[in-house]
Structure 1
């Protein structure tokens, strides 16, 4: 056992000078480096595990956000059904300038009732192609253009469970 004795200043108490001493007793400590290394290694493993788990959670959250951010808008069932009706109507555009203009105005008004504007824009492109063909302007779109537009429109209706069919426009 080690004994440390510290002397403090001489004080005056009741007119007597005396030394005030403090005795501290301390036990020798074992310098066990093996237990220190084991504790240090355990803390490192715990820190690494927590860091890895946090990285996985952040990566999953980021992937989910990216998917939601880049996903096409999903139209309602009513919008998808209306889109198909508009496409079907484009197959029967009447003859004559006045009748075509009336059809175009009616089609635009019906399309404006759609809540999903992106699906409405795709249907508008198809209507424009059909209208141009009915007026004898331009050339009909290629099969690949119609197929690509159909695929884009259908991606808006995945959750509604409705598949929109865009027939090929022929002159």
Structure 2
């Protein structure tokens, strides 16, 4: 019976150590490869661009010009490349939906855009709201 208690104690101890290691690895992975921290100014502008993306033109030529204008704002005013990229991806798919283009994003892409955009703004003090794009 004594060896059974030792085995159970060992298993519990090993599980606690493994959980701690997994937590530490996940924390370090997120710090190294996770979303970069965008400023409050970048996140505020990102929200404005996401809001603007709710009503893209339905005409293909106008929509491409509209997307180009937003791209120019992103490239000249957003300092954080990560949030700029996610805003650009969101704007693009919003335009694709509005123009009736048959192209569709790969499964999980729109959720990934939202997750990463929100992650970039997590510590900025700006509560980024990214409406879902439905095809």
TM over 0.5: yes
- Number of residue pairs aligned between Structure 1 and Structure 2: 110
- Measure, in 2, the Cα distance between the counterparts of 1:74 and 1:80: 10
Which of the pair has more CA radius of gyration?
A: 1
* Worse overlay, 156-165 or 110-119: 156-165
Root mean square deviation of aligned Cα: 2.9
Normalized per residue, which structure has more helix?
2
- Measure, in 1, the Cα distance between the counterparts of 2:128 and 2:43: 7
Alignment of 1:27-46 (within 5 A): none
1:96/1:67 CA distance change after superposition, 3 Å: closer
Give the structure, 1 or 2, with the largest relative contact order (CA under 8 Å, sep 6 or more). Answer: 2
- Measure, in 2, the Cα distance between the counterparts of 1:144 and 1:92: 23
- CA shift, 1:81, in A, is 0.7
Alignment of 1:10-159 (within 5 A): 68-112=31-75, 113-138=77-102, 141=105, 145-159=109-123
Unpaired runs of at least 5, structure 1: 1-63
- Measure, in 1, the Cα distance between the counterparts of 2:63 and 2:52: 12
Q: Deviations over 1:105-141 (max 9, x none)?
A: 2111111121001111111111110111122113555
Unpaired runs of at least 5, structure 2: 1-26
1:79/1:139 CA distance change after superposition, 3 Å: same
- After TM superposition, the runs of 4+ consecutive aligned structure 1 residues lying more than 4 A away are 64-68, 139-144
TM-score, normalised to structure 2, is: 0.66
* Worse overlay, 151-160 or 93-102: 93-102
